[in-house]
Structure 1
Amino acid sequence: MVTDSSSIAHAAYDSKIEGNVIFTQLDAAMNWMRKNSLWPMPMGLACCAIELMATASSRFDISRFGMEVMRFSPRQSDVMIVAGTVTYKMALAVKRVWDQMPEPKWCIAMGACASSGGMYRSYAVLQGIDQLIPVDVYISGCPPRPEALIEGMMRLQRKIEGESAVEDQKRSMIEEMA
């Protein structure tokens, strides 16, 4: 059996692999994974929830953004979409669900009621979910269209893209050890 040195060299070096190597920063890779696999926790409290449901339909198709997996378990979600009027009676349940979500987590306030209490200026309605939990993206409208929610989700993706994932994890590990 005769072996050619060029066939051995070809087996040792595969030119197909050369184009498949990517160099990047750890923050950029983690943020890319996070922003393209967001799992929303739908907190539908009023009429905005209908528009939230419509966003998951085939007409608007949020699956192209990697957000089609609506989880009704807070332990499997990382984005809470508060859609609708938050009453003080419901506020404790919303806070409990938020606290059960693992870090990192984000919040979208969908609609006028979730953002500012809407037209309800009464003793029973929380005047904005940001009084209870931190909000990353506000979506205006009463109720906002599914296109507005998709735009809000894309804004959240851009926000996640600019975060420093590694530094935040280091900081949280140091806080846990102290």
Structure 2
Amino acid sequence: MLDVIKSRLLQGYRTGKFPYQAPKLPARFRGLPLLDNAKCSADCRACEQICPVGAIQKRAEGGIVLDCGKCIFCGKCETACEAGVIRFSSNHDLAVFERERLLRSDSSYSYELQPRDLVRRLCGRSLKIRQLSAAGCGACELDFNVLNTLAWDMARLHIQVVASPRHADCLLVTGPLSKNMLLALKKTYLSMPEPAFVIACGTCPISGGIFAGSEAVCDGIEETLKPDMYLPGCPPHPASILEALLRFMGRQTRPVLDTKGEDTKPH
């Protein structure tokens, strides 16, 4: 027992300082995509053709639109574009409150806290989450689950996962929603006390991701449940998920990030 206590003392405090400080992200991390359509050639469709999920479309007026709700952040478009129109930044803050905000055609970025007063009043101090995997591959589930470990410890921020939907404030859905999971999703949502909120975590529950078009899936949850927050990524980084949850609650814990991933004051 003494050896165990000594070992714990030597290990020290292991929980990271995020969200009170910017997260430490890997060098190859791909965050918020930035587009410079001024560089886009009218006769070039390299990025559109190489995208495996059809997330990029050429606009009639010139330039491209990238749908983050379909994007799997593979980076093939960035490599294929010799003009440098597309660049993935180190900004981990990807969540939005409206589906249309996931369509990107420039390098703009704005930090937005929960716009609904009802959600802020009910969830501003604590957030109880019921997580449902609607036929996910396990990646989003793992990156959400890691927030319960001592490295992230989201419970210190009053965010907890509950075992029953009857105890939950919001339903966090991962996966493309297979038809076999459709009834389970509906039953889980109907079991939650009103008002119940929904977060689509990952590209799959937003658009179906790499499974879109399969006869076995519903191409996301939007036709079944209207999400109150959309968090793209395949999978989203734990920092992206935790940042999204705090913004969903209406809580700001530090200066926000600009498109280059540098601290800046809120807009």
**Which of 104, 111, 124 is residue 35 of structure 1 equivalent to?**
124
For these two proteins, the number of residue pairs brought into alignment is 131
> Would the aligned equivalents of 1:52 and 1:83 in 2 still touch at CA under 8 Å?
no
**Which of 224, 227, 240 is residue 148 of structure 1 equivalent to?**
240
Identity over aligned pairs, percent: 31
Where 2:209 maps in the other structure, the secondary structure is coil
Runs of 4+ residues deviating >2 angstroms: 28-34
Question: CA, structure 1 residues 114+30, in 2 after alignment: closer, same or farther (shift >3 Å)?
Answer: closer
Structure with more of its chain in strand, by fraction: 2
Establish whether residue 87 from structure 1 lines up as the match of residue 178 from structure 2: yes
Amino acid at match of 1:42: Q
1:90, 1:29 → 2: CA distance? 29
1:30, 1:155 → 2: CA distance? 11
2:118, 2:173 → 1: CA distance? 28
> Would the aligned equivalents of 1:38 and 1:66 in 2 still touch at CA under 8 Å?
yes
Cα deviation, 1:17-49, whole Å, max 9, x if unaligned, reads xxxxxxxxxxx8994453222100011342211
> Would the aligned equivalents of 2:179 and 2:216 in 1 still touch at CA under 8 Å?
yes
**Which of 54, 61, 66 is residue 146 of structure 2 equivalent to?**
54
- Match of 1:3? none
2:247, 2:191 → 1: CA distance? 24
> Would the aligned equivalents of 2:123 and 2:169 in 1 still touch at CA under 8 Å?
no
Per-residue deviation at 1:124? 1.1
State the structure with more CA Rg: 1
Q: CA RMSD in A?
A: 2.1
> Would the aligned equivalents of 1:110 and 1:139 in 2 still touch at CA under 8 Å?
yes
1:30, 1:49 → 2: CA distance? 24
Where 2:222 maps in the other structure, the secondary structure is helix
Cα deviation, 1:103-131, whole Å, max 9, x if unaligned, reads 12211101111111001121111112111
1:89, 1:33 → 2: CA distance? 32
> Would the aligned equivalents of 1:137 and 1:155 in 2 still touch at CA under 8 Å?
no
- Match of 1:170? none
Cα deviation, 1:77-108, whole Å, max 9, x if unaligned, reads 11111022310110111111001100122111
112-121 vs 150-159, greater mean Cα deviation: 150-159
Unaligned segments of structure 2, at least 5 residues? 1-116, 252-267
**Which of 59, 66, 77 is residue 168 of structure 2 equivalent to?**
77
Cα deviation, 1:109-157, whole Å, max 9, x if unaligned, reads 0111111100112111111211111201111111111111112112211
1:29, 1:130 → 2: CA distance? 21
> Would the aligned equivalents of 1:40 and 1:67 in 2 still touch at CA under 8 Å?
yes
